[in-house]
Amino acid sequence: MGAYCLLESITSHPARVGEIMEVVWFDYHGAVIFGDRKEIACIPHEGCRLEIVATPPSPHAKVDMLLPGHIIRYSRSFFFGDRFELPWRARVGLRHLVGFKLQLASNVALPPQPDAIVRRPPAEPICLSEPIPEILAGVR
């Protein structure tokens, strides 16, 4: 959970699956994640996956390639605060995600491993010059 979860003036709750959260900028506190109930939504644990639901009209240059549906991973750093690992392995702070709407990703289908794909031999071509078998001849 980030340091913003310890703000006493605003109530907070742990984020839930399916809850839409928005990253908002406060002049005094910096970037804060708000949930559906207009309370601070605290990310439950390090390693959580968050799905991008919506992007701002003009995002920060470090995250302008993020699109809805992308998955980012949350991590906590003592020196850098909340960090998020982007799909292309770059790490950004919460301040770079201001304006984004996120939700906890429950189950993510991972792409198959290249060696797990089974290749079948091509089917033999059908020759139309051969006579039609008698079983199919009655279908005409």
Query: What per-residue confidence (pLDDT) applies to 107?
Result: 61
* Beta strands in 19-123, from DSSP E residues, in sequence order: 21-26, 30-34, 40-42, 49-54, 71-77, 81-85, 91-93, 101-104
Residue range 22-37, pLDDT digits in tens: 999 987 778 888 988 8
Task: Write down the residue that tokens 């039609």 correspond to.
Answer: 132
Q: Residue ranges per domain, the chain?
A: 3-108
Is the pTM above the cut of 0.75?
no
- Residue 99 falls in which region: left (phi positive, over 0), alpha (psi -120 to 50) or beta: left
CA distances from residue 76 to 5, 46, 82, 122, 123 in whole angstroms, order as listed: 13, 6, 5, 50, 53
* Rounded Cα–Cα distance for residues 98 and 104 (Å): 17
pLDDT digits (tens, 9 = 90+) for 34-77: 988 888 888 887 778 999 999 998 888 889 889 999 999 988 77
C-beta of residue 103 within 8 angstroms of C-beta of residue 21: yes
Alpha helix segments (H runs only) across the chain: 134-137
